[in-house]
Structure 1
Amino acid sequence: MKIGIFFGGPSREREISFAGGRTVYDNLDKALFAAVPIFVDSRGNFILLDWHHIYKGTIRDFYPPVSALPASAHKMPVYLESLGALSTAEQDKIIGEVGRRVLPHELPELLDFAFLALHGPGGEDGAIQGLLEWYGIPYSGSGILASAFGIDKIAQKKLLQALGQPTPDFRTITAEEWDTTDRTALLGYLTRELGLPLVFKAPRQGSSIGISILREPTEAQFAAAVERSLFRKTVRRDEWSRLGEQDKIMWVQQLTDIREGIGLPVVLDADDTNIIYHPEALLTLLNERLQTADAVLLTNVDGEAQVLVESFVAGREFSCIVVEDPDGNPLALPPTEIVKGEEMFDYRSKYLPGLARKITPIDLPEAEIQRIRAACEAMFRTFGFQVYARLDGFISSQLPVPGSQSSDEQTGNSQPATGNSIFLNDPNTTSGMLPASFFFHQAAEIGLNPSQFLTYLIRTSLAARRRAGMKPVQLGRLLGQLDAAVAARQQHEQERTKVAVIMGGYSSERHISVESGRNIYEKLSSSTKYEPVPVFLTGSSAEFRLYVLPISVMLKDNADDIREKVEHMEAGHGLHPILAHIRREAGAITSTYAGQPTAQPRRLSFEELAQEVDEVFIALHGRPGEDGALQQQLEKLGLPYNGSGVESSSITINKFETNRRLRAAGLRVAEHRMAARREWAADAESFYRSLETQFAYPFIAKPADDGCSSAVKKIKSRAELEAFSQLIFRDQEELLPAPATVLHLGFKEEFPQKEAFLVETLISRDGARHFLEVTGGLLTHWQADGTLGIEVFEASEALATGEVLSLEEKFLAGEGQNITPARYAPEAAERQRISDEVKAELRRVAEVLNIQGYARIDAFVRVRGEAEAGGAVEVIIIEVNSLPGMTPATCIFHQTALSGYTPYDFIDQILEFGKARQEKQIGAKK
């Protein structure tokens, strides 16, 4: 069956849609389905996407393509809408570089079924559903009417109130009211009617876009909250003038971010005759206008016309996926509690692992969880949802608002006169589909892995469309064919090579390690060659503890959640009774699609691991994993593994030693030295002066033996040097508040404790004609003569929004931007000349350090002289990663795709190399 995956789209959640579409593309059961990637751009064009673009980290990494980008002094990343008004021919030229345009009438020829991974307007509002209905193409999820309700928060509220279901009280503010009403009076009215805090929402956006909480009744904060939901921004001259040039650039980038800013294009002071499309143009305009004007008002041309204002619900927040069972009845999966502090569960907290804790099931008595499930199933029926939906809400000790008392007859969820009340809001007809999102996370609790869950949803969607009257004979035949194929699939499961995928660890990059491990697991599990076994490593450098994970635990949100789950099991706690109950209810689903019962985490020794698997893929980052310690254990047991050997790994984990060896070999590295705690403790002032004598501000400080993005900071002053030293040399695990503030550490940003740190000169342009940061991957092969061959890929150009590339920008979907291949020069021949020189230097690095398997090398590149003269190329090595991140978004997959390797092909090559190396070592011993 040809499954068209629709992803991307015009909404502000297009990056999550893009990442979710990739998850669906990777996890569709290859024995049952053929994936057809239909990328939807921000103008609504359908594009049959060339496969290698699917593995880009963000949409902006490939679309619009580099050739279509206007000249930009600051290389600000942009979406298609920033190119301004484009003719159809101009759009076709752009589309032709990434795939081919698909006209709506062509869709029935290309696909049998549409899997909708689109979010927000254009994806969840009934629009795409209506188009597919017109052409008779069955699609996933809810139909037109339910989707229209699902996107409109104000309509939802009115319906819930009309039916007497508990919902926070609310008011609306129109844009016209905001522009003409006395704002002091309006704020007073809202606080009297709804109380404080107040929740402000953009009523037709995703559940995490355009949301604010007003806790204090100040007019400035009130105005900021309303503007956030209307996608406006008032920029004041006094605030703008205080910013430095680089700060202004970063400010404009954040303002035009589609997720947390207002996006583009915008108009100035409601003048819709002058539309600003590009962030560079906006920067120039603000610099000009704020010379004389006290303030300017920026409004996104596709902003909202209303703001929804709700009373605040003080309670425990949860999210629950509801699916249809095989009989078409709603079945609520185990609800997940979202544990956080005072902050909102916003876009960043929802999609970046480790920022919010997600506990499944919510920690409540079984009867209370059943009440939540019943309420969610009732709302699913009330709105006429089909196939699946994600319902968010609160369970709170506050009583429902007057007049919203529900009854058994209306909803099946009678609220008690006293005790906890359940408030449901913001239903989503398309949930986020990242590997560990609520969508897959809760399905895993009943034993379905992502591939199995997608198969079930496709089958259920076909049945829903057929019930609604779409092509009953044709869809009946498709259903029969799919049911037969699923049954045959289970009967003919073949023997596969068992690969332990080791993930987790205890470094500050443990959450990224889990993301990498899950990605490897998914790529291998969809193959016919490998059977991946997820293994979680925890403990300490003194003792590694290994656990085989069931899918339900592997898909927990982050490494800490997984560790907590295995520790819970080791303490003797059994399966939560509500999970046992839901698994029985879901038996008709899992018996057909899962094929095997769910299990508990199981601890095992290295010796037991060697008995159970054929080889190992180490998906750890930093220590342990990249330091050779784990490799040593595996070599003792004769287990093949990925990446470099013990000796090389022990060198590359140490950034100081790596730099020393590379410099000795004649390669360029930054000036560097180690800064030890003992020197600092003996005389802090001398310690600081010594560093300041050797290194001029600004310089780089970072751990010498941790992951590539852990606590890397640009130190610009004595105050920042003191703060960095105090944090990295601290005695307690908790961060010191004052130094953390000085370094502007982000929410839940981790900072390791070390006995020493590395200080390096800041690598700058130094008068070069062209200067950029790159990251390059490589893969090794055994050649016919038995020697090691090194294949170096085209490097990616890494663009940072801050002073240094963050962990999220390097590894997480939708964060940061990587241009592959790197833009060394506009002319093709000159670009290739520079690229060849860069690749030659990266190959030398691999040879000097005896890197094996694969690696990622980060560097700065300077190109000197005139372009026509073929200027000198300088490559300054920053660091080497012997086990680079393998998350779905990491740029090493962009690079391998250019050389014809799919992510699975690349992983297969890595595993085959490890196996061949093991055989060579055995042969050498004989």
Structure 2
Amino acid sequence: MKIGIFFGGPSREREISFAGGRTVYDNLDKNVFEPVPVFVDSFGQFILLDWQYIYKGTIRDFYPPISAVPPSLRGFQIYLESLTNPDLEAIAREVGQPLQPHQFRQHFDFAFLALHGPYGEDGNIQGLLEWYGIPYSGCGVLPSAIGIDKGAQKELMAQAGFAGPDFTRVSRTAWLAETDKTALMDSLVEDLGLPLVVKAPHQGSSIGVSIVAEADVTKFAAAVNRSLFIQELAKADWQSWDETGKINYIRTLTDIREGIGMPVWVGLPGTDLRLMHHPEELYHYLEQDFPGDLVQLISPEGEDSVLVESFIRGQEFSCIVIQDEKGNPLALPPTGIIKREDLFNYRSKYLPGMSRKVTPIDLPEAQLEAIRRECCRLFETLHCNVYARIDGFVSETGEIFLNDPNTTSGMLPSSFFFHQAAEIGLNPSQFLTYIIRTSLAERIKAGKNVIALHKQLAGLDAQLQSLQQAVAEKKRVAVIMGGFSSERHISVESGRNIFEKLASSTKYEAFPVFLTGSEAEHELYLVPVNVMLKDNADDIREKVHHVGEVHPILAKIRKEATAVTQKYAGNPLSAPQRIRYEQLAERADVVFIALHGRPGEDGAVQTELERVGLPYNGSGVASSQITINKWETNELLAQHGVSVAKHRLVDKTLWLRNKPEALAEIEAEFRYPFITKPADDGCSSAVKKIKNREELVAFGNMIFREAEPLLDTEAQTLKLQANEEFPQKQQFLIEELITRNGALHFLEITGGLLTRLDDQGNRVYEVFEPSEALASGEVLSLEEKFLAGEGQNITPARFASTTEAYRAISAQVRSELEKVARLLNVEGYARIDAFVRIFEDNRAETIIIEVNSLPGMTPATCIFHQTAINGYKPYHFIDAILEYGQQRQRSLNVSH
């Protein structure tokens, strides 16, 4: 059955839709479904997307294509709407095949909707598909139209007796005409109290929402403008910023998730405004033609009004409601949201570590049941079907407020959508099968194409039944994730991604293994899918260390969902179980190590796996022991003529014994700024650009501290984020800051590689086209490297403007990367980070930063962008990695 996956779209949540569509594409059960990617661009154009673009980090990394993008002196990335008079069909043809709705039937049998916000979950696309007779996933036209309109929702919910916060509307016209905004704010505060919640009424649940905590008219006006997608900029502020500050302002302004996006109307308030499409055009206007003391910037896609609500003090939750096999609503266990701030915004919802999910929410059983009942009642009241995500609060007095039914949920691997389904025993692949089958049954109820849909449903049911009866011989893969380094959360993201890619394949039977403990003693745990999909590594560790009785609500819901789970999953959930490496060898045929830093990239896990005879991915013990140690890597490479940064180790003993002497030695050898990092940890752990002695002292004190808690003064000096971790080490590494140094072109790159054995048993290296990495701060962050929608990675890297020059430079760089891999005896796969200086004669100098023997394998990591150019889908890349590990093990067995 061909499944057209609709993702992207015109909305401000298009990046999460893009990432969610990729999740669906990868996790559909390949025994049953053939995924067909249908990208929807900013103008609503449907494109049968060439599959390799699915694995780009963000939409702007591939669309509009580079050929259509005008040059940008300041490196601004743009969406399609920043082009003036684009040839839409020609642009679409560079990434795929434009589709008209009447052609849908030629390419797919069913539409899976991963679109968000306006045009995606408002009934528009649902109505279009019904017109053309294509069955689709999720809710129908009516609940979708209600679900996108927060004002209409509130009125309907009030009529149906649901508790909700008091609210009012403020129209755009009235707001712009209002001369006394303080009086308006005071009136709202008198009616609704503080804090005030200000919302854009027709956006997704996380866009254009603010909390005004105090009666401050400046903050109040900014919140209302934000929901109307208006910004005001003072000339004095603009002129006070340096070029970096100005560029960052425009980048934030044009970020559709947190800013107002492009194009934008600009000018003096109350006058004729100019429409500007490109960030460079806006930068030039503000720099050269800034009129008056204040300008307004207004999105053409703004709202006509805003909602202002009372703030509910209490616990926030989210609950997925699905239909059981009889068509009745079934509320999955509500998830509590523990936030770092009052507002559960876009970043809090989609970035690991910004908030925490607890399932079920920590409330008495009776209250949990009351939440479930209210969510089911709302599901029925709004005529929802298949599934919906319903958000709400339990107030401090115990009252339940439901405030945002969503007919499409975010579909990142650890989203509420998959997180709660895992609690009844469905992995993502199985849950997607459930959604498709249930949606097909629901579309029949609309009375359109009934005979054809019944036939389609019967065919799917027959295939599902035959799969249950078949006993497939699959290779058993243990996916080890977690660890105890500062990169353990990214390791879990990588491990989940590997597990999900393998779980939906026809070749492998994957099972998750969580590693925790210490360097002295590794603790291995077999974990069920519901534990694997907990929010982060620390939540998983808590579950495996404190295995108790199943929560009564979870037991009750699992019983209610028995018919669903037996049909789509079969095996009941089990408790986490600690095992030894010897027991792992009895259960697995091969291991995929998805760990980062120590342990994992240091050879320790590899040593244990070799001891019990298990093949594994990546480099062997000796190579891993070298590449984890950045000092040893630098030394070895330098000895063989490879360019590396000037470097030195700083030892804890010297630092503690005589800090002035240590500082004097460092400052005699290195000029500020320079880079400091742990000598033996993951690629993004505590990497800092040190600009002065104060920061150097703070870094040394922090990394050499005796106790685990962060030092407050040092954390402030180093500008650590609220959730940032900082390891304790015995040494740290200093590296000279790598700069342009007279080169015509200078860029940071990351290059992936894969090894295989030829017919003679010789190792062959396939080095992929490197990606160009763009950091928003002083160094690349974990989020920019690994999380969907965060980093700006351009693949292939922009080495040159002409094809001939590009090929010459790329060949030099890739040759140097292969040389490094051979010197370090890298096997399986790896990622090598470097800086590249390009000179006028197209000579390239590659300066190696570090080598990662187990690179990040999150859905958005750029190694997948690179492999796609060479024709590997992520599953095929993972398969090749596992095959090499098994070949290596077989050759070892023969030699022994």
Q: TM-score scaled by structure 2?
A: 0.98
| Residue identity matched to 2:491 | S
Displacement after TM superposition at 1:897 (Å): 1.1
What is aligned with 1:883? Answer: 854
Displacement after TM superposition at 1:832 (Å): 0.3
| Residue identity matched to 2:662 | F
Any idea what the Cα deviations from partners look like across 1:226-285, whole Å, max 9, x if unmatched?
122111211112322222111221221122111111211111136666211112222222
- Indicate the SS of the match to 2:432: helix
What is aligned with 2:312? Answer: 313
| Residue identity matched to 1:562 | I
More divergent stretch after superposition (228-237 vs 841-850) = 228-237
What is aligned with 1:231? Answer: 229
Q: Are 1:94 and 2:94 an aligned pair?
A: no
Identity %: 62
- Indicate the SS of the match to 2:848: strand
Contact 1:627 1:649 in 2 (8 A): yes
| Residue identity matched to 2:805 | E
Displacement after TM superposition at 1:431 (Å): 0.1
| Residue identity matched to 1:880 | V
| Residue identity matched to 2:258 | E
Any idea what the Cα deviations from partners look like across 1:18-64, whole Å, max 9, x if unmatched?
11111111111112111111000111110000011111111111111
Structure 1 residues 164-175: aligned runs within 5 Å:
164-175=161-172
What is aligned with 2:541? Answer: 563
What is aligned with 2:647? Answer: 672
- Indicate the SS of the match to 2:42: coil
| Residue identity matched to 2:853 | S
Any idea what the Cα deviations from partners look like across 1:494-553, whole Å, max 9, x if unmatched?
021111100001111111111111111111111221111100001111111001111111
Q: Are 1:379 and 2:383 an aligned pair?
A: no
Contact 1:5 1:36 in 2 (8 A): yes
Give, in whole Å, the separation in 2 of the partners of 1:106 and 1:748.
48
Give, in whole Å, the separation in 1 of the partners of 2:681 and 2:349.
26
Q: 1:151 to 1:272 in 2, by over 3 A?
A: farther
What is aligned with 2:218? Answer: 220
Displacement after TM superposition at 1:689 (Å): 3.5
What is aligned with 1:435? Answer: 413
Any idea what the Cα deviations from partners look like across 1:724-760, whole Å, max 9, x if unmatched?
2332223332223333233332231222222222111
Q: Are 1:52 and 2:52 an aligned pair?
A: yes
Q: 1:493 to 1:817 in 2, by over 3 A?
A: farther
Give, in whole Å, the separation in 2 of the partners of 1:721 and 1:220.
38
Give, in whole Å, the separation in 2 of the partners of 1:172 and 1:688.
60
Give, in whole Å, the separation in 1 of the partners of 2:588 and 2:212.
54
What is aligned with 2:41? Answer: 41
Q: Are 1:205 and 2:170 an aligned pair?
A: no
Give, in whole Å, the separation in 2 of the partners of 1:674 and 1:85.
56
Q: 1:540 to 1:64 in 2, by over 3 A?
A: same
Displacement after TM superposition at 1:589 (Å): 0.8
Q: Are 1:176 and 2:173 an aligned pair?
A: yes
What is aligned with 2:796? Answer: 821
Structure 1 residues 85-124: aligned runs within 5 Å:
85-86=85-86, 90-124=87-121
Work out which of the residue numbers 871, 881, 891 in structure 2 matches 1:910. 881
Q: 1:692 to 1:282 in 2, by over 3 A?
A: farther
What is aligned with 1:257? Answer: 255
Q: Are 1:20 and 2:20 an aligned pair?
A: yes
What is aligned with 1:417? Answer: none
Contact 1:56 1:891 in 2 (8 A): yes
Contact 1:250 1:802 in 2 (8 A): no
- Indicate the SS of the match to 1:705: coil
What is aligned with 1:644? Answer: 619
What is aligned with 1:156? Answer: 153
Unaligned runs of 5+ in 2: none
Contact 1:138 1:470 in 2 (8 A): no
Contact 1:315 1:397 in 2 (8 A): yes
| Residue identity matched to 1:68 | A
Any idea what the Cα deviations from partners look like across 1:559-599, whole Å, max 9, x if unmatched?
11111111220xxx111111110011111111111111111
What is aligned with 1:294? Answer: 293
Work out which of the residue numbers 503, 524, 527 in structure 2 matches 1:549. 527
Any idea what the Cα deviations from partners look like across 1:349-369, whole Å, max 9, x if unmatched?
111122211111112221111
Any idea what the Cα deviations from partners look like across 1:456-496, whole Å, max 9, x if unmatched?
11111111111111211111111111111111111113021
Q: TM-score scaled by structure 1?
A: 0.95
Work out which of the residue numbers 523, 526, 535 in structure 1 matches 2:504. 526
- Indicate the SS of the match to 1:234: strand
What is aligned with 2:284? Answer: 284
| Residue identity matched to 1:53 | Y
- In the comparison of the two structures, how many residue pairs are matched? 893
Contact 2:160 2:381 in 1 (8 A): no
What is aligned with 2:697? Answer: 722
| Residue identity matched to 1:203 | P
| Residue identity matched to 1:214 | V
Give, in whole Å, the separation in 2 of the partners of 1:93 and 1:584.
54
- Indicate the SS of the match to 1:668: coil
| Residue identity matched to 2:655 | W
| Residue identity matched to 2:152 | A
Give, in whole Å, the separation in 2 of the partners of 1:647 and 1:251.
47
| Residue identity matched to 2:599 | P
Contact 1:9 1:123 in 2 (8 A): yes
Contact 1:199 1:311 in 2 (8 A): yes
Q: Are 1:612 and 2:587 an aligned pair?
A: yes
Give, in whole Å, the separation in 2 of the partners of 1:839 and 1:97.
26
Contact 1:253 1:801 in 2 (8 A): no
What is aligned with 1:2? Answer: 2
Contact 2:340 2:354 in 1 (8 A): no
Displacement after TM superposition at 1:682 (Å): 2.8
Give, in whole Å, the separation in 1 of the partners of 2:106 and 2:163.
46
Structure 1 residues 342-353: aligned runs within 5 Å:
342-353=341-352
Any idea what the Cα deviations from partners look like across 1:123-171, whole Å, max 9, x if unmatched?
0111111111111111111111111110111111122222231001112
- Indicate the SS of the match to 2:361: coil
Displacement after TM superposition at 1:786 (Å): 2.3
- Indicate the SS of the match to 1:120: coil
Give, in whole Å, the separation in 1 of the partners of 2:681 and 2:236.
42
Work out which of the residue numbers 456, 462, 473 in structure 1 matches 2:434. 456
Contact 2:828 2:885 in 1 (8 A): yes
- Indicate the SS of the match to 1:669: coil
Q: 1:350 to 1:897 in 2, by over 3 A?
A: same
What is aligned with 1:736? Answer: 711
The 4+ residue runs of structure 1 with deviation greater than 6 A are: none
Give, in whole Å, the separation in 2 of the partners of 1:342 and 1:52.
38
Give, in whole Å, the separation in 2 of the partners of 1:597 and 1:138.
31
| Residue identity matched to 2:870 | S
Give, in whole Å, the separation in 2 of the partners of 1:599 and 1:85.
58
Work out which of the residue numbers 801, 819, 836 in structure 1 matches 2:776. 801
Give, in whole Å, the separation in 2 of the partners of 1:686 and 1:194.
62
Contact 2:31 2:505 in 1 (8 A): no
Task: Give the RMSD, CA atoms, in angstroms.
Answer: 1.4
Contact 2:339 2:348 in 1 (8 A): no
Work out which of the residue numbers 730, 748, 767 in structure 2 matches 1:773. 748
What is aligned with 1:701? Answer: 676
Give, in whole Å, the separation in 2 of the partners of 1:96 and 1:516.
33
Q: 1:787 to 1:680 in 2, by over 3 A?
A: same
Any idea what the Cα deviations from partners look like across 1:415-448, whole Å, max 9, x if unmatched?
xxxxx10011111100000111100111111111
| Residue identity matched to 1:877 | I
What is aligned with 1:78? Answer: 78
What is aligned with 2:518? Answer: 540
Give, in whole Å, the separation in 2 of the partners of 1:482 and 1:142.
20
More divergent stretch after superposition (747-756 vs 757-766) = 747-756
Q: 1:342 to 1:19 in 2, by over 3 A?
A: closer
Give, in whole Å, the separation in 2 of the partners of 1:223 and 1:367.
41
Work out which of the residue numbers 187, 199, 223 in structure 2 matches 1:189. 187
Any idea what the Cα deviations from partners look like across 1:808-853, whole Å, max 9, x if unmatched?
1111111112111111111101100000000000001001111111
More divergent stretch after superposition (619-628 vs 350-359) = 350-359
More divergent stretch after superposition (183-192 vs 57-66) = 57-66
